[in-house]
């Protein structure tokens, strides 16, 4: 089993599409109400969909990059604004926080081996 994609609601597909392309993703589907993007390193995808009514999205989308601090500097040079600069978190990830034009929370991070194997890892299966 594998996760295919996550779809985020947006109130402006064109503005959101431009934003995600600025972050470095390749847009692979384009329509007036939907767009899909491919991550540059591994073929993972995510999408956005037009939500014409009011919405509150509590989901957070995470994008991992080994050279997080360098990536953040590159994005800032393009005018991307951050709510939090890269910071070492207590759960052993380094994270920066930003919001897309529709207010969706994004975390750019690097966790290395701690992404799948933190010191407190458990394996519970039924």
Quote the number of domains for the chain: 1
Is 126 within a domain?
no
Maximum Cα–Cα distance across the chain: 48
Does 43 reside within a domain? yes
Q: Is 123 inside any structural domain? A: no
Give whole-number Cα distances, 2 to 5, 45, 71, 89, 113, in Å. Answer: 9, 12, 27, 27, 19
User: What is the reported pTM?
Assistant: 0.91
d(CA 41, CA 63): 11
In a domain, 22, yes or no: yes
| Residue 123 in this model has a pLDDT that exceeds 80 | yes
69 domain-assigned: yes
Residue 28 structure tokens: 């692979």
Give the per-residue pLDDT at 43.
81
Whether 1 has a pLDDT exceeding 80, the answer reads no
53-76 in b/e form (b: 16+ CB < 10 A) is: eeeeeeeeeebbbeebeebbeebe
CATH number, position 88: 3.10.180.10
Name the nearest CA neighbour of 71 among 110, 19, 112, 43.
110
Confidence of residue 3 (pLDDT cuts 50, 70, 90): confident
Q: Residue 55 — very low, low, confident or very high, per pLDDT cuts 50/70/90?
A: confident
Q: According to the model, what pLDDT value does residue 41 have?
A: 85
- 17: in domain: yes
Share above pLDDT 90 across residues of the chain, in percent, rounded to a whole number:
87
In the chain the first and final C-alpha atoms are separated, in Å, by 16
Domain extent at residue 27: 7-115
Please give the average per-residue pLDDT across 58-75, as a whole number: 96
Beta bridge partners of 37: 27, 46
- The residue among 41 and 39 whose pLDDT is bigger is 39
**Looking at residues 58-77, what average pLDDT do you find?**
96
Is residue 90 included in any domain, yes or no? Answer: yes
User: For residue 67, what are the contacts with CB-CB under 8 A and spacing of at least 6?
Assistant: 110
pLDDT, mean over the chain: 95
């Amino acid at each position: 089993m594998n996760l295919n994609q996550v779809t985020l609601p947006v109130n402006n597909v064109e503005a959101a599409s431009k934003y995600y392309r600025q972050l470095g993703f390749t847009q692979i589907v384009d329509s007036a109400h939907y767009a899909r993007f491919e991550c540059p390193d591994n073929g993972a995808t995510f999408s956005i969909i037009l939500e014409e009514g009011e919405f509150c999205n509590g989901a957070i989308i995470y994008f991992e990059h080994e050279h997080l601090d360098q990536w953040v500097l590159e994005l800032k040079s393009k005018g991307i604004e951050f709510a939090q600069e890269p910071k070492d978190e207590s759960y052993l990830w380094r994270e920066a926080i930003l919001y897309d034009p529709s207010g969706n929370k994004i975390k750019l991070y690097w966790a290395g081996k701690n992404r799948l194997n933190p010191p407190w890892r458990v394996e519970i299966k039924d």
